[in-house]
């Protein structure tokens, strides 16, 4: 880029500005996307003039520094773009501002708020733009404010129900527990506090259809037929209740008096004998009956259920049979080499068999050929060793699960 004097500079600028569509001011070399064909760009920081722009771009710039090393100065004054060298007094007109063509209108940006981040108290606030030139996004970082002083404790009203003739209204008679100035007291009206009960809102519900007075001192004492009233309400009189309570506390009380007091009939049709009552109470099943599962119409208590679920002990000193109609869980102690059969296959049930060697050990077990099994049934041989298997009875067929060996 060659140096030029003020005269040459004026000629260059006048010639250039007479042909440009617009003038672009930049800091640094202009980007290719700036300006249009024949635009001129001025790097105001480096004082370099670029253009006019062609289809190939901006091309090299021209330094606007004077020949004696003085920098040019530009200003708009008197309707002209003017120039002078640093230190000169007079300004030279370059081009009339009115002759500069107006550039195209740019798009109106639509700004939206992006992220808003809270920074620690005392940090500076920051803002940055993202997005595009047409749709910029403003991201903000704002410091947290100092924690304010706590306010006074809240007040709680002290309420009272006040009778105003047939009306019932609420009155705030005092406030408690708060700090600062105590709020005003008064009656509660439709929109806030009022001065008198007459102005307050009636909180009593509308009257019912009946003519009685549930808060009168003689409530229910003036009934014309108290027995009919008790029957309608399904309640007993005090005398009837006392008689029933006495009978419950003392089994030897006069049953006839109780029956009469409660208005029940004493004939056979409406009462039961002791034998009749006993016949209505089911008997309790035994553990054996629960295990068999073939007794109906009996009650079962929790203790019986626990007993029925226990193991049935069996000593095997040869051929032995487990009857599943009598139980579901068997504990077999082998005192000799033995062969096992299973009966009682009328119900489809499952169970457990536990095999234990005696103190001698090495007892063997053979399984009846009708019993299906999984794998070999060779027991552990150590003294007092325990093995276990599961049992399924389905369709009259006995199935043994795989033997679990060496449990103890």
Name which residue leads in pLDDT, 128 or 224.
128
Give the integer Cα–Cα distance in Å for 223 and 204. 27
Whether a cis peptide bond, with omega within 30° of 0, leads into 52 is yes
Give the integer Cα–Cα distance in Å for 182 and 196. 20
pLDDT of residue 99: 67
Q: Which pTM value belongs to this model?
A: 0.35
pLDDT one-digit tens code per residue, 88-118? 888 887 777 776 666 667 778 888 888 989 9
Is residue 257 within 8 A of residue 246, CB to CB? The reply is no
Mean pLDDT (the chain) is 79
Name which residue leads in pLDDT, 397 or 129.
397
- Strand pairing class (112-119; 92-96): unpaired
The arithmetic mean of pLDDT across residues 289-305, rounded, is 80
Structural domain spans, the chain = 6-99, 112-143, 156-199, 235-281, 307-400
Residue 2 has pLDDT above 50, yes or no: no
68-72, 142-146, 258-262 — most confident range: 142-146
pLDDT of residue 215: 57
Comparing CA positions, the residue from 77, 35, 103, 96 lying closest to residue 49 is 35
Radius of gyration of the chain (CA): 55
Give the integer Cα–Cα distance in Å for 69 and 4. 10
DSSP codes, 23-64: EEEESSSPPTTSS-TT-EEEETTTTEEE---BTTB----EE-
Structure tokens at 158: 């002290």
Residue 247's pLDDT band (boundaries 50, 70, 90)?
A: low
Q: Give, in order, the Cα–Cα distances in Å from 98 to each of 40, 44, 77, 120.
A: 17, 22, 12, 53
The arithmetic mean of pLDDT across residues 143-170, rounded, is 87
Is residue 326 within 8 A of residue 305, CB to CB? The reply is no
Is residue 271 within 8 A of residue 256, CB to CB? The reply is no
pLDDT of residue 216: 57
pLDDT of residue 209: 67
pLDDT one-digit tens code per residue, 343-393? 988 888 899 999 999 999 999 999 999 999 988 889 999 999 999 999 999
Structure tokens at 216: 């009168």
The arithmetic mean of pLDDT across residues 50-61, rounded, is 82
Residue 129 has pLDDT above 60, yes or no: yes
């Amino acid at each position: 880029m060659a140096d030029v004097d003020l005269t040459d500079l004026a000629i260059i600028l006048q010639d250039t500005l007479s042909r440009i569509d617009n003038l672009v001011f930049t800091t640094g070399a202009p980007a290719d996307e700036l300006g249009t064909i024949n635009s001129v760009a001025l790097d105001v920081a480096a004082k370099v003039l670029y253009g006019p722009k062609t289809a190939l771009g901006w091309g090299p710039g021209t330094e606007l520094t004077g020949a004696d090393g003085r920098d040019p100065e530009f200003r708009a004054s008197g309707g002209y773009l003017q120039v002078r060298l640093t230190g000169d007094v007079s300004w030279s007109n370059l081009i009339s501002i009115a002759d500069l063509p107006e550039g195209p209108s740019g798009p109106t940006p639509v700004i939206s708020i992006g992220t808003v981040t809270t920074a620690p108290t005392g940090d500076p606030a920051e803002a940055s733009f993202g997005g595009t030139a047409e749709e910029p996004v403003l991201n903000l970082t704002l410091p947290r404010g100092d924690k304010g002083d706590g306010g006074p404790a809240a007040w709680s009203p002290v309420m009272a129900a006040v009778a105003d003739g047939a009306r019932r209204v609420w009155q705030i008679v005092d406030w408690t527990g708060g700090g600062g100035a105590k709020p005003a007291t008064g009656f509660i009206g439709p929109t806030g506090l009022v001065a008198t009960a007459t102005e307050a809102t009636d909180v009593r519900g509308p009257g019912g259809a009946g003519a009685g007075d549930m808060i009168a001192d003689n409530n229910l004492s003036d009934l014309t037929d108290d027995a009919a009233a008790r029957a309608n309400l399904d309640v007993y009189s005090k005398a009837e209740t006392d008689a029933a309570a006495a009978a419950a506390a003392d089994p030897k009380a006069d049953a006839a008096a109780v029956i009469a007091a409660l208005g029940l009939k004493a004939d056979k049709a409406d009462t039961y004998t002791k034998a009749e009552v006993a016949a209505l109470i089911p008997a309790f099943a035994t553990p054996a009956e629960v295990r068999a599962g073939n007794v109906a119409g009996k009650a079962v208590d929790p203790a019986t259920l626990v007993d029925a679920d226990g193991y049935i002990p069996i000593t095997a000193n040869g051929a032995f049979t487990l009857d599943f109609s009598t139980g579901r869980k068997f504990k077999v102690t082998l005192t000799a080499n033995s062969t096992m059969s299973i009966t009682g296959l009328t119900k489809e049930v499952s169970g457990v068999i536990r095999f234990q060697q005696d103190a001698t050990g090495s007892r063997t077990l053979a399984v009846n050929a009708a019993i299906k099994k999984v794998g070999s049934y060779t027991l552990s041989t150590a003294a007092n060793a325990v093995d276990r298997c599961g049992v399924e009875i389905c369709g009259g067929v006995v199935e043994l699960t795989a033997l679990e060996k060496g449990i103890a």
